[in-house]
């Protein structure tokens, strides 16, 4: 779709946006579809790209606003600064057999609440968190991140707020924001709305990839507290908000309800990477869509199951409200929402206390929420007790 958003070449941003629509004497190419007009070529020459709904000057202004945001995220491995068609990143020589781990995700319909509240400064953190937490569970240290921001009409202030949040998320994760794409596509999105996608790449020593193969009977499942609903289950959350008629500005346990539902996704990268350096982490699961029920089995061998006790941790009030407002069953809650647990870590029972202490000293709230048991034929891989 053209050069990186973060380019310093004079006309690169124009070329990037021109990939969505090119004016020629034969017709107008908008979004890849040719619309032929039987009009004089001299008349076409008087039409600007802005007339088609794409403001190149606004795009250029956004690039200038983004540069300092991206600069504060850079890592030593990044070889190129702002400029060029692609960013160059080297692999640190500390890795003997480096393995790259990639992940991509979005924010989902949590964006709908951001539009309604005109609150755009935290969804960028959500975007980064969803991808870096995914690659973290395999032991990867996030290296760099790229984003895709698509909208019908570019608002400089909105886009800057979103990308500022992305930069904040990258700082929290310790990865570099090395590029991105801003797509202004008239007619594709309702006024004031946009969509986001993010892409993270990390690296891990081949011998230290965490895959769950060593998980054994008696191992302990640790649960790290979530900050809220993170970025999953928002279609149901929004439906319950509509049905209950709760005001987004209404008081909810001492703060506006909007703050509770818009709390950004917690990024676990730094405390967990430091834990991996300290002791043997056998398996991890990022608790996203599908909840503990759907995500914890992804790191378990087929021969074992996790027996989890939901009473072992404190569930945030938001989930109590959601369950009550929708009369949602406990099973449905646990397979839809994270219910207060954003990341599960499996360690040997002999390491559980040390792991808990280390994570707590790193600022995390941690509970021992379950253990690994033998799995009988036909048994689910997550059993609640």
Q: Which of 159, 196, 179 is nearest to 70 (CA)?
A: 179
What pLDDT band is residue 53 in, cutting at 50, 70 and 90?
confident
Distance CA 116, CA 154 (A): 17
Distance CA 223, CA 46 (A): 62
Please give the pLDDT value at position 104: 98
Is residue 193 scored above 70 in pLDDT? yes
Three-state SS string across the chain, please? Answer: CCCCCCCCCCCHHHHHHHCCEEEECCEEEECCEEECCCCCHHHHCCCCCHHHCCCHHHHHHHHHHHHHHHHCCCCCCECCCCCCCCCCECCCCCCCCEEEEEEEECCCCHHHHHHHHCCCCCHHHHHHHHHHHHHHCCCCEEEEEEEEEEECCCCHHHHHHHHHHHHHHHHHHCCEEEEEEEEECCCCCCCCCEEEEEEEEEEEEHHHCCCCCCCCCCCEEEEEECCCCCCCCHHHHHHHHHHHCCCCCCEECCEEHHHHHHCCCCCCHHHHHHHHHHCCCCEEEECCCCHHHHHHHHHCCCCEEEEECHHHCCCCHHHHHHHHHHCCCHHHHHCCCCCCEEEEEEECHHHHHHHHHHHHHCCCCEEEEEEEEECCCCCCCEEEC
SS3 55: coil
Min mean pLDDT across 36-45, 68-77, 174-183 is at 36-45
Residues 244-267: tens digit of each pLDDT: 999 999 999 999 999 999 999 999
Q: Contact at 8 Å (CB) between 131 and 145?
A: yes
Percent of residues, the chain, with pLDDT higher than 70 = 87
Distance CA 1, CA 19 (A): 6
35 compared with 194, residue with greater pLDDT: 194
Q: What mean pLDDT comes out for the span 66-73?
A: 94
Residues 135-159: tens digit of each pLDDT: 999 999 999 999 999 999 999 999 9
Q: Contact at 8 Å (CB) between 200 and 308?
A: no
Min mean pLDDT across 6-15, 37-46, 112-121, 311-320 is at 6-15
Is residue 194 scored above 60 in pLDDT? yes
Q: What mean pLDDT comes out for the span 122-128?
A: 99
Locate the domains of the chain by residue range: 53-82+92-208, 220-384
CATH code linked to domain 220-384: 3.90.650.10
174 compared with 61, residue with greater pLDDT: 174
Please give the pLDDT value at position 19: 34
Is residue 326 scored above 80 in pLDDT? yes
Q: What mean pLDDT comes out for the span 51-62?
A: 87
Q: Contact at 8 Å (CB) between 380 and 305?
A: yes
Beta carbons within 8 Å of 80's beta carbon, 6+ residues apart = 87, 88
Distance CA 38, CA 26 (A): 8
Distance CA 322, CA 340 (A): 13
SS3 220: strand
Is residue 56 scored above 70 in pLDDT? yes
Domain 53-82+92-208 fold is 60s Ribosomal Protein L30; Chain: A; (3.30.1330)
Residues 202-231: tens digit of each pLDDT: 999 999 999 999 999 999 999 999 999 999
Looking at residue 363, the DSSP 8-state letter turns out to be T
Please give the pLDDT value at position 346: 99
Is residue 281 scored above 70 in pLDDT? yes
Q: Dmax of the chain from CA atoms?
A: 80
Q: Contact at 8 Å (CB) between 272 and 140?
A: no
Min mean pLDDT across 31-45, 126-140, 174-188, 276-290 is at 31-45
What pLDDT band is residue 55 in, cutting at 50, 70 and 90?
confident
């Amino acid at each position: 779709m053209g050069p990186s958003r973060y380019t310093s070449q004079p006309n690169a941003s124009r070329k990037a946006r021109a990939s969505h629509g090119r004016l020629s004497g034969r017709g107008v190419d908008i979004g890849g579809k040719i619309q032929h007009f039987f009009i004089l070529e001299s008349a076409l020459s008087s039409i600007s790209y802005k007339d088609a709904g794409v403001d190149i000057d606004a795009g250029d202004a956004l690039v200038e606003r983004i540069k300092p945001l991206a600069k504060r995220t850079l890592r030593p491995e990044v070889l190129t600064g702002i400029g060029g068609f692609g960013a160059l990143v080297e692999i640190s020589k500390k890795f003997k057999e480096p393995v790259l781990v990639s992940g991509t995700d979005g924010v989902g319909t949590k964006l709908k609440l951001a539009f309604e509240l005109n609150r755009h400064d935290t969804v960028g953190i959500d975007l980064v968190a969803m991808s870096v937490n995914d690659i973290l569970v395999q032991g990867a240290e996030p290296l760099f991140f790229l984003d895709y921001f698509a909208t019908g009409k570019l608002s400089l202030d909105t886009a800057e707020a979103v990308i500022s949040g992305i930069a904040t998320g990258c700082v929290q994760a310790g990865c570099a924001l090395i590029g991105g794409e801003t797509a202004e596509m008239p007619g594709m999105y309702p006024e004031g709305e946009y969509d986001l996608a993010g892409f993270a790449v990390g690296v891990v020593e081949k011998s230290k990839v965490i895959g769950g193969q060593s998980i054994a009977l008696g191992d302990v499942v640790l649960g790290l507290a979530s900050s809220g609903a993170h970025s999953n289950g928002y279609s149901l959350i929004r439906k319950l908000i509509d049905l209950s008629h709760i005001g987004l500005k209404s008081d909810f346990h001492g703060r506006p309800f909007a703050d509770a539902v818009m709390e950004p996704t917690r990024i676990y990268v730094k405390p967990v990477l430091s834990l991996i350096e300290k002791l043997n982490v056998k398996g991890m699961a990022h608790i996203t869509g599908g909840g503990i029920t759907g995500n914890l089995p992804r790191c378990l061998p087929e021969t074992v199951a996790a027996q989890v006790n939901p009473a072992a941790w404190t569930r945030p009030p938001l989930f109590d409200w959601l369950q009550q407002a929708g009369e949602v069953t406990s099973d449905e809650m646990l397979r839809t929402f994270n219910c207060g647990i954003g990341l599960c870590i499996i360690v040997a029972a002999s390491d559980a206390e040390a792991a808990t202490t280390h994570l707590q000293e790193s600022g995390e709230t941690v509970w021992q929420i379950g253990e690994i048991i033998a799995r009988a034929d036909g048994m689910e891989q997550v059993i609640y007790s």
